[in-house]
Amino acid sequence: MEHKYVRSIFLGYLFIIFLGGILLFLPISHFGELKFIDAIFTSTSAVCVTGLIVTSTSENFTFWGELIILILIQIGGIGYMSLVIIFFLFIGNKLNIDEKRAMKQSLDLPNLHVGAFIKKILLVVLFIELFGTIILTIQFFDKFKFLDALWFGLFHSVSAFNNAGFSLFTDSLMGYQSDTISLVTISFLVIFGGLGYFVLIEIYENRKFSKQFTIHTRIMLYGTVILIVLGMILFLSIEWNNPKTFGGLSFYDKILNAFFLSINFRTSGFNSIDIASLKESSLFFSTLFMLTGAGQGSTAGGMKITTVAILVITVIYILKESNQQPSIFKRTIDQKVINKALAIIITSSFFVLFAVLILVETQNLPFIKILFEVCSAFGTVGVSTGNGDILSFSQQFDSFGKSIIIVMMLAGRLGVFAFGLILIGKAKSKHFKYPTGRIII
């Protein structure tokens, strides 16, 4: 991992966040008073495709403010480096080796063939978001005028595919909890965005199943299905008779909303029920889903499905006392990959627990809600127990508390390895090796 490229990406995100905050702070972008920290928080949440809000998107921002948020979401989802490369390709300039390496670092590309890959990404994004916009516009047209329905459809399609969770409805999608088409459309937009560009492009190129999918794609597809089903089982078993959540719904609507909740609790911030009414057991176990997140190279955050899958497989092999290297789909998992997965999980856990400790000691608010909010920020999820109204729980934090959430959103979007490299720097190369020590565990 090249330190200079990571630093460039980090500074780029900071620049876009502050530019977005300044634009949102302008009088033309919002109604009434808006604190600068809240403008920066909103910009960070949009660029990091999180969805936590401390000021109402629909009530406190003008059309121009909403448009700025939408653009920030798109930049954050695709990655600002991708947009830079698209611009260079558009004007006909060839990329030098440093630009290719920076792009490879930004999107975790397997090689330096970035031009062709970026063109494929752009086509995938435009096609999926356009398809989602058309379906959602038709659904929203029942309640709104055409232009309003079109704007709502576009905004929610872009927000869903980029796993941002921003909504122009004050109650998110609670008003559509019985609308199968809307919830399923949003759900699949979130799933497609969470799978990652590598997986989407590979599925398209291999749509006739002429050859086998790569190990990464297979882990992502199986892992996504397993996590969705596990989430549904968890929420249905805990919330089935809760009158404030699933209790008053029909059998079909319980299944539909459990499906929607399970998907959005890992990657996106939409909700069709009141999150604050969930039982504490649901809130606690959902933090595990939020920290897991979705796929590498996707619009989502978290530790990533592949990371957790590798560690689970390794643990199983260790418990079985197998004398073989861990493997999956008849392929051996390299020890370096196992080490990296372990490092990501430990570092992520440390970041989250440290942030929770700071907020618990400084904000004087309930522990479980702080834990939930921090996991939502770090996983760039965006679901929240709320402030008692339509805003996120972060709205109750002071400026220092909001700053901690901002850092967690940025860390989750950038990735713990890259963020850790920014904080502690790169280790010096050593050309010697210490003798092996015997440690009892």
**Average pLDDT by consecutive 10-residue portion of the chain (441 residues)?**
66 89 95 92 92 91 95 82 56 56 56 66 87 95 93 95 90 91 94 85 72 83 92 93 91 94 88 91 91 78 86 87 79 86 89 94 93 92 86 93 93 76 61 71 67
At 218, list the tokens: 């297979």
222 to each of 64, 78, 225, 338, how far by Cα in Å? 41, 24, 5, 19
Q: Helix count (H) and strand count (E) of the chain?
A: 18, 2
pTM of structure: 0.88
What's residue 111's pLDDT? 54
426 to each of 254, 303, 432, how far by Cα in Å? 50, 21, 18
Contact present, 76 and 162 (Cβ < 8 Å): yes
Contact present, 294 and 224 (Cβ < 8 Å): yes
Number of Cβ atoms within 10 Å of the Cβ of 123: 12
In tens, the pLDDT along 198-255 reads: 888 888 777 666 567 888 888 899 999 999 999 999 999 999 999 999 998 999 999 9
At 404, list the tokens: 């901690």
345 to each of 264, 305, 310, 404, how far by Cα in Å? 21, 11, 11, 20
> Cβ neighbours of residue 422 under 8 Å, at least 6 residues apart?
6, 7, 10, 414
- Residue of 337, 275, 286, 268 lying closest to 309 (CA atoms): 337
- What is the spatial distance between Cα 245 and Cα 230, in angstroms, rounded to a whole number? 18
CA dihedral 66, 168, 9, 337 (to 10 degrees): -170
- Which amino acid is located at 434 in the chain? Y
- Which amino acid is located at 389 in the chain? D
SS3 content of the chain, % helix, strand, coil (to 5): 65, 0, 35
Nearest-5° angle of CA 383, CA 388, CA 394? 50
- What is the spatial distance between Cα 350 and Cα 307, in angstroms, rounded to a whole number? 16
N-terminal to C-terminal alpha carbon distance within the chain: 31
At 53, list the tokens: 């809000």
Number of Cβ atoms within 10 Å of the Cβ of 32: 8
- Alpha helices in 108-214, H assignment, sequence order: 114-140, 146-161, 180-195, 197-205
At 1, list the tokens: 């991992």
Contact present, 382 and 268 (Cβ < 8 Å): yes
- What is the spatial distance between Cα 213 and Cα 440, in angstroms, rounded to a whole number? 41
